């Protein structure tokens, strides 16, 4: 019997069979950061990007992206998402914006990929809306923060290096 459930007995990639699993409450959150530079940072903060309200559009795009995860990642299951939120924290010290995506469902499989996809799409949207001002923006430090529910139990990300660089949960949200 193959213990690695993402491959069949012949080594072919397959969608994991979750039909026998029980529905449970599932939650996941992920975060990432985009470094935009001073000029872009100031224009976002003062709502002077010509394409519109950058963070509002990025929030909507990230939520839409999370809902489309199964269309983007081949072996992801289609999930009924019960809640998805994206919050941003602007950090003037390094002219960056942190995005945190939280996703909830009740189902047979987790929502980690949806949370990670939501963060990525939100950051890409910020880039897209601001690239006319500066194309030298960079995205990174994208990772799962935590997840709960399911057979594998709870997970909490712990990486002191990222915490030391300001990726801790900032209390102020913009």
Q: Which residues are catalytic?
A: 128
Residue closest to 127 by CA, chosen among 113, 139, 115, 142: 139
* Pairing between β-strand 83-91 and β-strand 138-148 as defined by DSSP bridges: unpaired
């Amino acid at each position: 019997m193959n213990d690695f459930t993402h491959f069949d007995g012949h080594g072919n990639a397959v969608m994991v069979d979750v039909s026998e699993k029980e529905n449970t409450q599932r939650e996941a959150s992920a975060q990432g950061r985009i470094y935009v530079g001073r000029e872009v940072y100031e224009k976002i903060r003062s709502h002077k990007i010509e394409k519109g309200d950058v963070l509002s559009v990025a929030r909507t795009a990230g939520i839409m992206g999370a809902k489309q995860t199964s269309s983007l990642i081949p072996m992801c299951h289609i999930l009924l998402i019960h809640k998805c939120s994206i919050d941003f924290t602007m950090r003037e010290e390094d002219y960056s914006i942190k995005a945190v995506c939280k996703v909830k469902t009740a189902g047979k499989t987790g929502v980690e990929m949806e949370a990670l996809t939501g963060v990525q799409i939100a950051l890409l949207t910020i880039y897209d809306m601001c690239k006319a001002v500066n194309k030298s923006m960079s995205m990174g430090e994208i990772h799962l923060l935590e997840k709960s529910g399911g057979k594998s139990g709870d997970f909490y990300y712990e990486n002191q290096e990222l915490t030391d660089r300001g990726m801790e949960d900032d209390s102020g949200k913009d």
